[in-house]
Homo-oligomer: A and B are copies of this chain.
Amino acid sequence: MNSTYTGWLLIPTDTGVDLAPGWVRVINGIITEVNTAGFAERVEFGDDSTLILPGLIDCHLHIPQFPVIGAGGLPLLTWLAQVVFPEEAKWADADYAEAVADLAATRLLSVGTVAISAFATVHAEATQRAINVMGRRGLRGFVGQSLMDRECPPELARPAMQLLREAAKLEQCSGIYPIITPRFAISCSPELLHGAGALARKLGQPVQTHLAETRPELERIAELFGDEPYTAIYDRFGLLGPRSLLAHCIYLSPEEQAIINRSGSVAAHCPTANTFLQSGLMNKGAMEQAAVRLALGSDIGGGYERSMVRVARAMVETARIVALESGDAEAVPSAAQAWRMITRGNAEALGLADAGRIEPGVRADLVIARPDPEAFTSPDPLGFLLHAWDDRWITATLLQGDIAHGQIPE
Contacts and interface: CB of A to CB of B under 8 A. Distances in A.
B73 A316 contact: yes
A36 interface: no
A406 B286 CA distance: 46
Contacts of A45: none
What secondary structure prevails in chain A residues at the interface with B? helix
A69 interface: yes
B71 A378 contact: yes
Contacts of A71: 378-380, 383-384
B280 A324 contact: yes
Interface string A245-289: 000000000000000000000000000000110101100000000
A392 B110 CA distance: 10
A281 B317 CA distance: 12
B372 A335 contact: no
Contact of A387 (B67, B276, B278, B313): B276
Given A278-B323, A379-B83, A387 B70 contact: yes
A374 B103 contact: yes
Contacts of A383: 70-73
A109 B158 CA distance: 52
Interface residues on A, range: 35 or more
A150 B109 CA distance: 51
A66 B374 contact: yes
A332 interface: yes
A321 B272 CA distance: 11
Contact of A388 (B70, B324, B388): B70
B69 A388 contact: yes
A372 B67 CA distance: 10
A83 B87 CA distance: 47
Interface string A338-370: 000000000000000000000000000000000
A81 interface: no
A306 interface: yes
Interface in A76-115: 83, 87, 103, 107, 110
Interface string A119-157: 000000000000000000000000000000000000000
B388 A391 contact: no
Contacts of A110: 392
A60 to B, nearest CB: 17
Contact of A379 (B72, B275, B384): B72
A321 to B, nearest CB: 6
A382 to B, nearest CB: 8
A320 B276 contact: yes
Contacts of A217: none
Given A278-B320, A321-B281, A372-B107, A70 B391 contact: no
Contacts of A275: 317, 320-321
Pick the 5 closest A-B CB pairs, nearest first.
A70-B387, A304-B387, A71-B380, A70-B383, A70-B384
Interface of A: 66-73, 83, 87, 103, 107, 110, 275-276, 278, 280-281, 304-306, 313, 316-317, 320-321, 323-324, 329, 332, 334-335, 372, 374, 377-380, 383-388, 390-392
24 contacts: A66-B374, A69-B384, A70-B378, A70-B383, A70-B386, A71-B378, A71-B379, A71-B383, A71-B384, A72-B380, A73-B316, A73-B332, A103-B374, A110-B392, A275-B321, A276-B317, A276-B387, A281-B321, A281-B324, A304-B313, A304-B387, A305-B388, A390-B391, A391-B391
Given A69-B384, A83-B379, 4 more contacts: A67-B374, A68-B378, A69-B388, A73-B320
